[in-house]
Copies of this chain bind each other. A is one copy, B any other.
């Protein structure tokens, strides 16, 4: 059983929490704690050996923790997600394979694409695909259609698996802290469009990818995971794009595993990740 807690820091929190667990004869097999001194915030993830009465433990913890404490006891092991895509297949393909073999850690309820390019591959895995074409002049309408589509699924998270349209602040605000994006650069380098072209022109020797939560500021949300691969002068911008797809796939897979496994805390535009 997993318990995750975020609250204001004060003396005695670990004693209070572990005291509650010890009273229930629960054995802690792994405990990660972090205090951000600049923000005075406390983060804890604890894994206990036994299953127990989750609601009862949450109530006991609430009684000994600060009033602002966000406590989750025994989170759902299988999150529900909706995936949004454009034309590129690599991230979605990887997710569909893991989903099919039940190692994604989440249930893909549906895929929404602003092109129908990836409809067939979804069909092959019996995953519903919704084609919602975008219309430049009517972004609000486009986003409303997506929201309607999402509404029927009530997902825990929305995963932008190479969805190449910029979402409005209004859309993002409708799913606070619940939209995960893969950006095809090592943020904050090369934010914005065509990062591989930018990287090629700058002559960098490494390219990267960044998985992050989406906030109103484009490419500025809390970072979950990043990785890089070395590149050389011999790669063109399109070679870099191809090489980058490998790392994009790997980084998004890692970030999703961490989030679905309740290892990621968000606060103050940063994440605490207990890997």
Chain A residues with CB under 8 Å of chain B are 9-16, 18-19, 21-22, 25-37, 89-90, 93-94, 96-98, 100-101, 103, 121, 124-125, 186-190, 202-206, 208, 222-228, 232-234, 236, 242, 246, 250, 253, 269-273, 275
Separation of A22 and B12 alpha carbons in the complex (Å) = 5
Are B188 and A202 within 8 A (Cβ)?
Answer: yes
What's the nearest-Cβ distance from chain B to residue A125, in Å?
A: 7
| A97 touches which of B10, B27, B89, B226 (Cβ 8 Å) | B89
Separation of A98 and B250 alpha carbons in the complex (Å) = 15
Known contacts A204-B226, A246-B253; 6 further A-B pairs (Cβ under 8 A): A10-B27, A15-B18, A18-B19, A27-B35, A94-B94, A205-B224
Contacts of A233 in B (CB 8 A): 34, 36, 270-273
Shortest Cβ distance from A12 into B: residue: B22
Question: A89-B97, A93-B101, A188-B190 in contact; A203/B271 too (CB < 8 A)?
Answer: yes
Are B206 and A226 within 8 A (Cβ)?
Answer: yes
Are B11 and A15 within 8 A (Cβ)?
Answer: no
Contacts of A124 in B (CB 8 A): 124-125
